[in-house]
Structure 1
Amino acid sequence: MKKKIDKRLVVVSNRLPIVIDEEEGNWRIAPGSGGLITALAPVMKKNRGLWIGWPGCGEEAPLQKLFEDFGKEQDYRLKGVPLTEEEVEKYYLGFSNETLWPLFHDLLGYCNFSLENWRTYQEVNRRFASIVAEESKDDDFIWVHDYQLTLVGGYLREEGIKQTLAFFLHIPFPSADLFSRLPWKIELLRGMMEYDLIGFQTLRDRRNFVNCAIAMLPEAEVVSRLRHYTLLRYGSRKVKVGHFPISIDFEEFNRGARTKAVEEAAWYLHENLQGRQLVLGIDRLDYTKGLPERFLAFERALEKYPEIRRKITLLQVVVPSRTLVPDYQNLKELLDQLAGRINARFAEQGWIPIHYVYRSLEPTQLLAHYRTSEIALITPLRDGMNLVAKEYCAASVDQNGVLILSEFAGAADQMGKAALLVNPYDIDGTADAIYRAFTMEPEDRRQRLSLLQTIIRRHDVHRWVNQFVSSMKGEEWRE
């Protein structure tokens, strides 16, 4: 049952939920894609909400007209936060993605602690807060999203905002030992503690944050620890800290995978790779995804279990990301080298071990890849949730899929009983899991996948919104 929201919802995120493009002088605006947009759009339409964020373009676009067109069509408003190229470089590409992103993913070696980037991050967060304060009403629900905007709550309190403020972190939160390396840890924690509700993906993330707050803020203390949340006292205020694992629209993926177009695309894909099981990896190019380790684990499986050669293929799709950043360029070069070396070592006439594709997939092809692959190999070094794992299971309508999942993905908390969990740093163990999945009996496959689908269907993205909103309203929910 969907929770009725009787107040206007104001959503604040780094990017607006839109795509703006120009063709021959004609500007167009269209809704974006993704789980968060899918979940929140119906709620925003019902209470004629407001979404605040960066539009992803500069002043060259006729934003006011585009936003008006969008509002008429979608029944909720957009408000843009302007950013200069320098601010995008320092606030988003710099502090958000070169400091917080690697630190929160337990990859300290990739961190760049730049004072200049930190100051720009503060300035941009303050601007977001100023625009939210100008646009919000006294009885709004204000829901801020993700690591780019941790300080917005604190700046909103400085603006005199009294209403309920909520924050959800879509990526992991690090342990106190790691978080303590951040030079501006106290400022960031104090900014976050100005929210009334703080949501994380997993119980581990929630505990990490609570431990950091208690250890580093003398004025913070635990009032109570309950199943779904921890209540903190922070000065004269109380802050509810909960965990709410995000999900997907199960029915949308399951229904989409059954369409004729997807069925034909899936058949064609497997016809070209006939007589073997497909091991699928789909990831954005990022050092947190464990891609080199995955290639090495597949190579080890071919070494250790020569009987699977010619009968198995790794189909790895890498979606381009941050192509001008040196760390990402180096990762791309490493993947090119590994795929080339492994294929040169094991390829035989009519069989190439790794099909390595560097591009994004349109929706029909994405669903076809999910549907046709017998095994999904999803092995991030650290991940807040990993929705690809859930999408794969929802789209495996032939009931023949096996999920191999990193124990360091947030999704492992929900899906670990039916997936094959691996430590992505354990190359030999992951190779064993590939062989186990390859040799798994059909009935075992069906039982495991059925359980995974039941979990995802029950805990879908709409339930995630309902649970978070219930907690914002001071209500509890039943499992």
Structure 2
Amino acid sequence: MPPSRVEYGYAAMSRLIVVSNRVSAPKDPAAGSAGGLAMALSAALRKYDGLWFGWSGETVEKFTGELKIEDRAGVTVALVDLEAQDVDEYYNGYANKTLWPLLHHRTDLAAYERSYGEGYERTNARFADVLAPLIQPDDIIWIHDYHMLPMARDLRRRGVKNRIGFFLHTPWPVRQLLVTLPHHRRLVESMFDYDLIGFHTREWLDLFRDYVASEPSVNGKLLPNDALEAFGRTVQTGVFPIGIDVDGFLEARNSVFGRRTYDRMAASAAFRSMMVGVDRLDYSKGLEERLLGYEQFLTDNPDKRGEVFLLQVTPISRDDVDTYQDIRVRLDALAGRINGEFADMDWQPIRYLNRTYRRDQLAGIYRAARVGLVTPLRDGMNLVAKEYVAAQNPDDPGVLVLSRFAGAAEQMGEALLVNPFSREELSDAIKRALEMPLAERKRKWESLMTVVRETDVSIWRDDFVSTLRAIERPSNGDANAAARAA
């Protein structure tokens, strides 16, 4: 049995408990490499004397539920190891081979294997077994992302009556695709054990509402103020657009390391215009389409050859999944082909890097780039778009080219919005960005920077937590306790 909260000496007071697949609370925030989300959640956990719970990233031969408790810069972290089978079926399988492609409208890549679903259910139940004894009566619980969609249900089955909120960091799919998922109804039903469900955009909230109201097997009702009723329960939903840690990012941009990186990139550009793309290696990011659009630009504008280059930073991810191995091979070949076709003795059109950079380094890179290319085929908010804007020189800002299928597009209409599936449209947008007059660039940047500041990650965090805290809890589910236990 997992240890109780008494064994760890937790005081009887209200706390915020954050739950996610991996715990990203920074061990050393001063290092400058932690992301804005991790910094914001860490600040909230310090404020509320909270706890961050998740998988350790390690595997054991047999699951025991033993917790590893750490203090990371004032944040209490509780980590649990999983079995290799759990990782294969829950994480590599259902999360990344089933849900991820489905949520990004790639049902052609989704693997609907029964063992994956069983592993997902088993692992979420194991997380709940370990977490439930740590929860105090006044705690509020904030669960993050598609790895843990049924976690509230599993906690309710273990007697947890606290307020539980959920935030989805990815898009939600259209109903016609969601129903291709075996047991889709059961998965959505489990989400009605949350008190609050948050989405980045109105579009994705509306898609969730459409499924609940239109799917015959659900027959749900749309209630006022974005509440939903189905399965004998009600849940509050809302739009909570995430942002970046603006002040932290500006501090990283202006740091010694950030300025030094900017100087290096400006010098390496050698009086050429640099464009930048920063994306984790993933088929949802539109990387192949971006390179093809850039190739179209070089074909359409021979006078621009030698005057511009693309720095594409693409850290490798999920290299245990076949799909990601395949896209890496294709991108390597595509970048090589474009360089081979267009490069000259003193110019290479693409610098393609498979490595990770610190936040202060990225800030310097963004600042040196005349154009920021953020062109996913379907994406969550995509904070690179907001980071690029925040990094710019107000007196000479660059131009953001943004996919209309990124969550950020709903807020950032002053960017050059493009259809990333059209190489001609992307080519035209690149040309327009490179030739845009200074006055127009400054006007667009000022508007975009206002959006970035008004959606700071701390505002997102506090808005969600305060909304969750305000929800009246006891009636939602007590009448259905027997149904949940069934």
Asked if these proteins are the same fold (TM beyond 0.5), I'd say yes
Q: For residues 451-479 of structure 1, give each alpha carbon's deviation from its aligned partner in whole angstroms, at most 9, with x where no partner exists.
A: 1111101210000011112221337xxxx
Structure 2 equivalent of residue 108 of structure 1: 107
| Whole-Å separation in 2 of the counterparts to 1:66 and 1:14 | 15
1:35 paired with 2:42, answer no
- The 1:120/1:432 distance shift into structure 2, 3 A limit, reads same
Q: For residues 71-99 of structure 1, give each alpha carbon's deviation from its aligned partner in whole angstroms, at most 9, with x where no partner exists.
A: 6x51x422223311111111001000000
Deviation at 1:439, TM superposition (A): 0.3
Q: Secondary structure at the match of 1:390?
A: helix
TM-score normalized with structure 1 length: 0.90
Structure 1 equivalent of residue 344 of structure 2: 348
Q: For residues 13-39 of structure 1, give each alpha carbon's deviation from its aligned partner in whole angstroms, at most 9, with x where no partner exists.
A: 11122579xxxxxxxxx9982232111
| Whole-Å separation in 2 of the counterparts to 1:323 and 1:354 | 23
1:13 paired with 2:20, answer yes
Q: Give the AA of the match of 1:222.
A: L
Superposition map of 1:47-196 within 5 A = 47-58=48-59, 67-68=69-70, 70=71, 73-74=73-74, 76-196=75-195
TM-score normalized with structure 2 length: 0.89
Q: Is the 2:315–2:356 contact (alpha carbons within 8 Å) kept by the matching residues of 1? A: yes
Q: Which runs of 5 or more residues in structure 1 are unaligned?
A: 1-5, 21-29
| Whole-Å separation in 2 of the counterparts to 1:167 and 1:13 | 10
Deviation at 1:235, TM superposition (A): 4.8
Q: Is the 1:251–1:457 contact (alpha carbons within 8 Å) kept by the matching residues of 2? A: no
Q: For residues 212-259 of structure 1, give each alpha carbon's deviation from its aligned partner in whole angstroms, at most 9, with x where no partner exists.
A: 1223354631121x4xxx111235532111111111101111222123
- The 1:32/1:281 distance shift into structure 2, 3 A limit, reads closer
1:363 paired with 2:359, answer yes
Q: Give the AA of the match of 2:115.
A: E
| Whole-Å separation in 1 of the counterparts to 2:185 and 2:130 | 25
Q: Give the AA of the match of 2:196.
A: L
Structure 1 equivalent of residue 405 of structure 2: 408
Superposition map of 1:369-388 within 5 A = 369-388=365-384
Deviation at 1:175, TM superposition (A): 0.6
- The partner residue of 1:257 within 248, 253, 256 is 253
Q: Is the 1:18–1:31 contact (alpha carbons within 8 Å) kept by the matching residues of 2? A: no
| Whole-Å separation in 1 of the counterparts to 2:352 and 2:169 | 28
Q: Is the 2:35–2:359 contact (alpha carbons within 8 Å) kept by the matching residues of 1? A: no
RMSD of Structure 2 on Structure 1 (CA): 2.1
Deviation at 1:292, TM superposition (A): 0.6
| Whole-Å separation in 2 of the counterparts to 1:78 and 1:419 | 39
Structure 2 equivalent of residue 232 of structure 1: 228
Q: Is the 1:383–1:409 contact (alpha carbons within 8 Å) kept by the matching residues of 2? A: yes
Q: Is the 1:254–1:397 contact (alpha carbons within 8 Å) kept by the matching residues of 2? A: no
Q: Secondary structure at the match of 1:294?
A: helix
Structure 2 equivalent of residue 223 of structure 1: 223
Q: Give the AA of the match of 1:67.
A: I
Q: Is the 2:189–2:231 contact (alpha carbons within 8 Å) kept by the matching residues of 1? A: no
| Whole-Å separation in 2 of the counterparts to 1:302 and 1:430 | 12
Q: Give the AA of the match of 2:105.
A: D
Q: Secondary structure at the match of 2:411?
A: helix
Structure 2 equivalent of residue 288 of structure 1: 284
Structure 1 equivalent of residue 460 of structure 2: 464
Count of residues in correspondence between the two structures: 451
- The 1:66/1:235 distance shift into structure 2, 3 A limit, reads closer
- The 1:361/1:83 distance shift into structure 2, 3 A limit, reads same
Q: Is the 1:257–1:397 contact (alpha carbons within 8 Å) kept by the matching residues of 2? A: no
Deviation at 1:291, TM superposition (A): 0.5
Q: For residues 249-281 of structure 1, give each alpha carbon's deviation from its aligned partner in whole angstroms, at most 9, with x where no partner exists.
A: 011112221233322221222212212111100
Deviation at 1:431, TM superposition (A): 0.3
| Whole-Å separation in 1 of the counterparts to 2:311 and 2:130 | 45
Q: Which runs of 5 or more residues in structure 2 are unaligned?
A: 1-12, 472-486
- The 1:376/1:32 distance shift into structure 2, 3 A limit, reads closer
Deviation at 1:354, TM superposition (A): 0.9
| Whole-Å separation in 2 of the counterparts to 1:180 and 1:64 | 37
Deviation at 1:65, TM superposition (A): 10
Structure 2 equivalent of residue 25 of structure 1: none
Q: Is the 2:401–2:417 contact (alpha carbons within 8 Å) kept by the matching residues of 1? A: yes
Superposition map of 1:445-456 within 5 A = 445-456=441-452
Q: Is the 1:39–1:461 contact (alpha carbons within 8 Å) kept by the matching residues of 2? A: yes
Structure 1 equivalent of residue 334 of structure 2: 338
Q: Give the AA of the match of 1:97.
A: N
Q: Give the AA of the match of 2:340.
A: A
Q: Give the AA of the match of 1:203.
A: R
Q: Is the 1:393–1:452 contact (alpha carbons within 8 Å) kept by the matching residues of 2? A: yes
Q: Give the AA of the match of 2:14.
A: K
Structure 1 equivalent of residue 266 of structure 2: 270
Q: Is the 1:19–1:31 contact (alpha carbons within 8 Å) kept by the matching residues of 2? A: no
Q: Is the 2:173–2:207 contact (alpha carbons within 8 Å) kept by the matching residues of 1? A: yes
